[in-house]
Amino acid sequence: MASSSNIEFQCLSFDKLTNRQLYDLLKLRQDVFVVEQECIYPDLDGEDFDHLHLLMHVDAVLVGYLRIIPAEFHSSGCVAIGRVVIAMPFRGQGMALKIMQWAITFCEDKFTGQLIFLSAQEYLIDFYKSLGFTAVSDIYLEDGIPHLGMKRLPKIIP
């Protein structure tokens, strides 16, 4: 398991991504969502320009990624987390938990008082419930994979 001292997070707007960072994140998304999950869909959906990109590196290697969608750009009207992905060699080491905890804290700090939405793959529902998300929809198919809409209440500020 990778030592947490080697883990670094960056959250960048599209315009702040380097060419290498953009290539690496698009390759990771393609490797998992298109190739591994065998989903033929347009990952380059034109939405990356308005989203924030959370990169998780271990020893300078991209091992995790997700994008954060400000509420004004998401159909739910909430801040949303999407395209959550961990590189295969790093799964089962708590990396998904680390990137989600970092993303939740970031969203709570940057988008104070806003609900957080995500579209969870069905097999990950319990994982997201453990992070405070609750189901807000029935199961639906997204690119042929069962998903469920989930929301997390905003952090209460004393």
Q: Is residue 130 part of a domain?
A: no
Q: Is residue 142 part of a domain?
A: no
Q: Is residue 100 part of a domain?
A: yes
| This prediction's pTM | 0.91
Q: Is residue 48 part of a domain?
A: yes
Mean pLDDT value across residues 125-137: 97
Q: What is the extent of the structural domain holding 77?
A: 4-119
Query: What is the per-residue pLDDT for 1?
Result: 47
pLDDT digit string, tens, across residues 62-115 = 999 999 999 999 999 999 999 999 999 999 999 999 999 999 999 999 999 999
Quote the Cα angle for 143-145-151, to 5°.
100
For residue 49, give the CATH number of its domain.
Answer: 3.40.630.30
Number of domains present in the structure of the chain:
1
Residue 140: CA count within 13 A, CB half-sphere: 9
Mean pLDDT value across residues 121-129: 96
Q: Is residue 143 part of a domain?
A: no
Query: What is the per-residue pLDDT for 35?
Result: 87
